[in-house]
Amino acid sequence: MTDTLTPVLTANWGDERAWKLVNYERVGGYQGLRNALGMDPADVVAQVKESGLRGRGGAGFPTGMKWGFIPQDNPKPKYLVVNADESEPGTCKDMPLMMASPHTLVEGVIISAYAIRSNFAFIYVRGEVVHVVRRLQQAVREAYSAGYAGKNVLGTGYDLEIIVHAGAGAYICGEETALLDSLEGRRGQPRLRPPFPAVAGLYASPTVINNVESIASVPSILANGAAWFSSMGTEKSKGMTIYSLSGHVTHPGQFEAPLGITLRELLGLAGGMRAGRELKFWTPGGSSTPILTPEHLDVPLDYEGVASVKSMLGTKALQCFDETTSVVRTVLRWTEFYKHESCGKCTPCREGTWWLVQILKRLEAGQGEQGDIEKLLDLCENILGRSFCALGDGATSPISSAIAHFRDEFEAGMHTPAWELFPYARSTVFVREPVGASA
């Protein structure tokens, strides 16, 4: 039986200057790369497949299988792109990883690129995090100087260029095909699939796109073995992962545990909800995953467990709200986010999110009209599945799930403003004691 928490990716986050190469090597860094370079690339892919690692960016697609889709007989260059555009509301695991231990990611990039026989890798990081960008730039430079990247990696004859590429502010670029358009110097708008990026991705060449945490998990698999990795987690959700607790909890923060831990266990570690308050609703994996309630506290937080209660594990961004919170207000603010971030390409998403905001605003103000709830649901039905990418789908998740669980609050929006039912000042955390003073 594995321990409740299993720090691997987060193990050096408390170390002095953990971001420096010398300190990363001191804790075993780049051993996974050395192991990988002694193997045939196809065997590296096989080992990652065997580990059971699934994508940590939301969809949960098996990472090794994705790599296996790269057609090795295609004469075009192959590309590896790391999706470091972390922007899904609630999601806050990749930024601290890249700030504390950028070499974990860089080592993963080199191993992964080697596995798919790519000589060019990109780390597409959102622009609004300059210090993360600095640490990544420095880590990549250090990797070149040490011979881990550049020409003739560690004398093996393998060449790899790595570019740290800063985005410019657009949630949609976290969608993999929009990210590719953005990386090609265009407006970040999604592409219709097929063809999938594995066949025609960046510059219409075979491309693997993986989330930061997925790639950062690879060095540990190469260093410790597939069986070690799959000894953690549940039957179909293997390994350790980072859970991000935020909101009205006593001590919010990052918790690395085997897949399958429950919110009840995590809340126990985080000191529970803030004093005197109770959990009202939560997201399992960011704002695009349907909200859950206290009745779901014991659902195993793995891909299958969360799917079984009609939500998604997503990015494991556990946003917890207490009973002072207005559901209508929360859903409005998420919907405003999607409206702002819709790229405008597909009509149902572009127009639909705008109309959803109008209706939710009047419900928040207590000026809802008869039929508004039905109209919201109807709009959601007409957005879901009718756009190129999942942004539109994600926009409907909070609304339809909130109406399912808290319909009475939407009905109250016909006559009473949300700020009267739930005075907003009570939801703020300004009274909270400073967290982790001893850390």
CB of 170 to another protein, least distance (A): 5
Taking the least distance from each CB to another protein, the nearer of 154 and 438 is 438
CB of 378 to another protein, least distance (A): 17
Taking the least distance from each CB to another protein, the nearer of 111 and 291 is 291
CB of 114 to another protein, least distance (A): 18
Taking the least distance from each CB to another protein, the nearer of 176 and 341 is 341
Q: How many helices (H) and strands (E) does the chain have?
A: 18, 8
Nearest to 266 by CA among 286, 246, 239: 246
Q: Are strands 253-258 and 240-247 parallel, antiparallel or unpaired?
A: antiparallel
Q: Residue by residue, what is the 3-state secondary structure of 54-70?
A: ECCCCCCCEHHHHHHCC
Residue owning tokens 């980072």: 242
Residue 111 tokens read as: 């191993």
Nearest to 218 by CA among 66, 57, 51: 51
Taking the least distance from each CB to another protein, the nearer of 236 and 264 is 236
CB of 99 to another protein, least distance (A): 7
CB of 176 to another protein, least distance (A): 14
Alpha-carbon distance values, 365 to 106, 326, 352, 419 (Å): 49, 12, 20, 8
**E-strand stretches of 127-184:** 161-166
Provide the residue type at 210 as one letter: N
Provide the residue type at 63 as one letter: T
CA distance 240 to 232: 6
Q: Are 412 and 368 in contact (CB under 8 A)?
A: no
CB of 379 to another protein, least distance (A): 14
Residue owning tokens 């090795």: 72
Alpha-carbon distance values, 146 to 154, 159, 265 (Å): 8, 14, 42
Taking the least distance from each CB to another protein, the nearer of 112 and 283 is 283
Taking the least distance from each CB to another protein, the nearer of 253 and 294 is 253
Residue owning tokens 């939500």: 311
Taking the least distance from each CB to another protein, the nearer of 112 and 237 is 237
CB of 439 to another protein, least distance (A): 4
